[in-house]
Structure 1
Amino acid sequence: MRVLVVSGTVGALSADDSAQAIAAGWREADPAAQLAAVPMAGAGLGFDRALADLLGPGVELSVAAVADDSAAPVITVLRTAQTAVVTATPASGEEVWCPGASSEPIGRAIRAVIEDDRPQRLILAITPGAAHDAGAGLLRGLGALADGELGAGTTALAEIDRIDLRRVRPLLDGLELILVVPTAERDPHLLGLRGLSAQRGRAAGMDPAAILAADAAIERFAAALTAAGGVPEAASAAGSGACGFAYSLLALGAEPTTGPEAIRRLAGLEQSLRQSDLVVVGCDSLDFASRGGEVLAAATAWAGDLLIPVLVIADTVQIGNREMRALGVEAAHAVRPSAPALGNAQPGELGAVDLQRLARRVARSWRG
């Protein structure tokens, strides 16, 4: 039997530790099984660690220096011989409305990575944070110039008519640029009633006049970037409003994707998937709210296309068989039969041995 194990974080265990524990337990019950274990993660916390574990020896992981500012993101940099991964997550862990926040620190980090030791491929993994400047600050960090202020947040974009990308083009020339965003950020548009400013402004309870002004400022910036040679279709594309600043990268030709899809590509999982008899997914919780998270959603989509059954091994499972089948899951098994009582959750108590023991028990029923 050929079994592909993909796992995100489970409790306090990393994605790789979880995948390896599940694979070890399965192997104990079915020594003849052919197993592949792959750590998986969505954009954000855990993505860089999953990639580091996947790519193995020779990986360098560091935290880039950023301003001591609650609106500034935490930036990590992962390097291999040919690939650099820049991950930006909000320092506060929350998305906020901050018209003056800039994505410039991310642009500076990208520029430093390229100039220090130019990779063949650069992956930027982002999540929603304070900046919603459509990536104007990021362009400034890369070296772009304009007739207005690119790094002062959304409001300042209303003064921009011309952008100069002559220092940015050589920096990115010949570089494979991949933009990784959360799955939920694949659809938001940049402009209009369902655009970036409208969605964030309404969520923050902002005055409609301020929302309209921000939208108009971003529209003006987008027109200037298109005139400077940006991809014309980027401003109207689904996902152009992703995370508040994805637009400028799409306008520069970045290829958008999700964390699981990026890892699938880097790990070369296509052949493993096609040869698999079963896909086993590790996740923290399978419930109505999370539905197992990005990793499970991606795995069920891949397996469903190939008519491969999917099993879930999780810390907790809180949905029934009907809901599982609707998600594309054949069966789900929990380390703990129900969620810990409110206020008593202790995810650190879950250990690799618990996943290994559960995987061993599940594998016995699937041993062919």
Structure 2
Amino acid sequence: MKIIIAPDSFKGSLTSTEAAHAIACGLRDADPYATLVEIPLADGGEGSVEAVAERLDAQIVTIDTVNPLMKKMTAKYAIAETAEGKTAIIETAAASGLNTVSRDERDIMASSTLGTGLIIADAFSRGCRNFIVGLGGSATNDAGLGILAALGYRLLDRNGKTLTPSGASLSELARIVASRDDDALRDCRFTLMCDVDNPLYGKSGAAFTFAAQKGASPQQIEQLDLGLRNWSRCVTRDLGIDVAELPGAGAAGGLGAMFAAFFNAEMRSGIEMVLDLAVFDDELRDADLVITGEGRMDSQTLHGKVPMGVLRHARRAAVPVIALSGAIDHCEEFDRAGMSGVFSIQPSPVSLDEAMQRETASRNLRSTASQIMQLIKAFTCK
């Protein structure tokens, strides 16, 4: 029996590589002779660099940068030689992600994408002119002001004073002055791994849809939305391009809009891009089962996340899919979508903090996978 193990990360607990390994160990506990293929996946958020870099035989680079609150940290990205030339693989979650600041420290108005910009600047200085950027998991809502500042663009208020790049500065922005590297940066190719289609502002925009989960109050959400509208007016006036309604403009606190306006970025489905790089369809040809999963499966999962991307491809190849998750909402929706089974890995009631500990999540994934394999054997080994 050939089983493909293709999970997303279990955010806050396990990377997709760690999750795949835990599932594989559980399956081998029950059947040491099964053929297992581990394909860790991502959709643009945490774990995207690892997932893409593995497929491109890339070099991992670690640099000093800053987190959303400008505190020093280190972050990783990857550099690969591809048909398009020297390519940097970067995820915004690495330096601008929710995982880089503790829950009680989160301050969306002060948060900035400067750290991600420093990563892009480092890759640019190393000769990269092709960039794959994952837009998931950000803690910010600054429409890329931090990235632009790191790349040498000047952010000015109505009095010509330089602004600190942050969500709060969006409302004060009057002008963005081009970087001295503007022409060279515009000649770069940016491909965004993005699995949301929200516009920049409005009730379906970046602030109203995503800012609450980043710690924003209702008042701050209103303020951020007004700031995004101001950013859009400035960009439309100065660049002659209106990206506010572009599908995905609201991704990662407005980074979709910024990359589209300043660097003519192409948006692609993150999970589809990773599946293509993993040659996933080729692996499916002789597979008997696929096991996928993520930390929480809910209504967002149904709209473009890793398990649904895996399911789409597996259904075309008539291969059944089982999903494992720490928490499950809308189980009946996954049944209707075509999942052969969706299983929680929690064996008993525990606190969220305990459930999300790396050792606990790994043990529970391994145990659940072992139980599933024993059930499969009971029906196939008669």
Per the normalisation by structure 1, the TM-score is: 0.75
Cα-Cα RMSD: 4.1
Indicate how the Cα distance of structure 1 residues 275 and 256 shifts in structure 2: closer, same or farther if over 3 A, else same: farther
Per the alignment, residue 113 of structure 1 pairs with 123
Task: Show the 5 A alignment for 1:153-168.
Answer: 153=166, 155=169, 160-161=174-175, 163-164=177-178, 167-168=181-182
- Whole-angstrom distance in 2 between the partners of 1:258 and 1:363: 33
Per the alignment, residue 29 of structure 1 pairs with 31
Does the 8 Å CA contact 2:56/2:80 hold for their aligned counterparts?
no
Query: 2:260 matched to 1:250?
Result: yes
**Structure 2 unmatched runs, 5+:** 82-86
Query: 2:40 matched to 1:39?
Result: yes
Task: Show the 5 A alignment for 1:297-316.
Answer: 297-314=308-325
Deviation of 1:296 after TM superposition, in Å, equals 1.7
- Whole-angstrom distance in 1 between the partners of 2:351 and 2:220: 40
Indicate how the Cα distance of structure 1 residues 40 and 367 shifts in structure 2: closer, same or farther if over 3 A, else same: farther
Per the alignment, residue 179 of structure 1 pairs with 192
Indicate how the Cα distance of structure 1 residues 259 and 223 shifts in structure 2: closer, same or farther if over 3 A, else same: same
Deviation of 1:62 after TM superposition, in Å, equals 2.0
Indicate how the Cα distance of structure 1 residues 293 and 357 shifts in structure 2: closer, same or farther if over 3 A, else same: farther
Deviation of 1:346 after TM superposition, in Å, equals 6.7
Deviation of 1:307 after TM superposition, in Å, equals 4.2
1:87 to 80, 91, 106: 91
Query: 2:225 matched to 1:223?
Result: no
Does the 8 Å CA contact 2:132/2:193 hold for their aligned counterparts?
no
Deviation of 1:249 after TM superposition, in Å, equals 0.7
Does the 8 Å CA contact 1:189/1:238 hold for their aligned counterparts?
yes
Deviation of 1:6 after TM superposition, in Å, equals 0.3
- Greater mean deviation of Cα atoms: 18-27 or 37-46: 18-27
**1:268-326 C-alpha deviation (Å, 9 max, x unpaired):** 22332455443221444557897899332322233344443211245x57679745412
- Whole-angstrom distance in 2 between the partners of 1:188 and 1:319: 22
1:196 to 206, 216, 223: 206
Deviation of 1:192 after TM superposition, in Å, equals 3.7
Task: Show the 5 A alignment for 1:247-326.
Answer: 247-251=257-261, 252-273=263-284, 276-284=287-295, 294-314=305-325, 322-326=332-336
Indicate how the Cα distance of structure 1 residues 334 and 97 shifts in structure 2: closer, same or farther if over 3 A, else same: closer
Query: 2:52 matched to 1:48?
Result: no
- Whole-angstrom distance in 1 between the partners of 2:328 and 2:203: 36
Deviation of 1:240 after TM superposition, in Å, equals 0.7
- Greater mean deviation of Cα atoms: 121-130 or 148-157: 148-157
Does the 8 Å CA contact 2:43/2:305 hold for their aligned counterparts?
yes
Deviation of 1:172 after TM superposition, in Å, equals 4.8
Per the alignment, residue 329 of structure 1 pairs with 339
- Whole-angstrom distance in 2 between the partners of 1:191 and 1:222: 14
Per the alignment, residue 246 of structure 2 pairs with 237
Letter in 2 for 1:4: I
- Whole-angstrom distance in 2 between the partners of 1:273 and 1:169: 43
Indicate how the Cα distance of structure 1 residues 319 and 361 shifts in structure 2: closer, same or farther if over 3 A, else same: farther
**1:203-224 C-alpha deviation (Å, 9 max, x unpaired):** 5222898467524422222214
Letter in 1 for 2:113: S
Query: 2:12 matched to 1:8?
Result: no
Indicate how the Cα distance of structure 1 residues 341 and 158 shifts in structure 2: closer, same or farther if over 3 A, else same: closer
Does the 8 Å CA contact 1:321/1:331 hold for their aligned counterparts?
no
Does the 8 Å CA contact 2:153/2:176 hold for their aligned counterparts?
no
Does the 8 Å CA contact 1:96/1:204 hold for their aligned counterparts?
no
SS in 1 for 2:305: helix
Indicate how the Cα distance of structure 1 residues 51 and 212 shifts in structure 2: closer, same or farther if over 3 A, else same: closer
Deviation of 1:198 after TM superposition, in Å, equals 5.3
**1:162-204 C-alpha deviation (Å, 9 max, x unpaired):** 643662231352x4422234x4xx1321134543355578852
**1:80-126 C-alpha deviation (Å, 9 max, x unpaired):** 4324222331432566441x544333223201112124264433444
SS in 2 for 1:134: coil
Indicate how the Cα distance of structure 1 residues 103 and 16 shifts in structure 2: closer, same or farther if over 3 A, else same: closer
Deviation of 1:267 after TM superposition, in Å, equals 1.6
Letter in 2 for 1:171: L
Per the alignment, residue 153 of structure 2 pairs with 144
| Identity across the alignment (%) | 21
Does the 8 Å CA contact 1:5/1:36 hold for their aligned counterparts?
yes
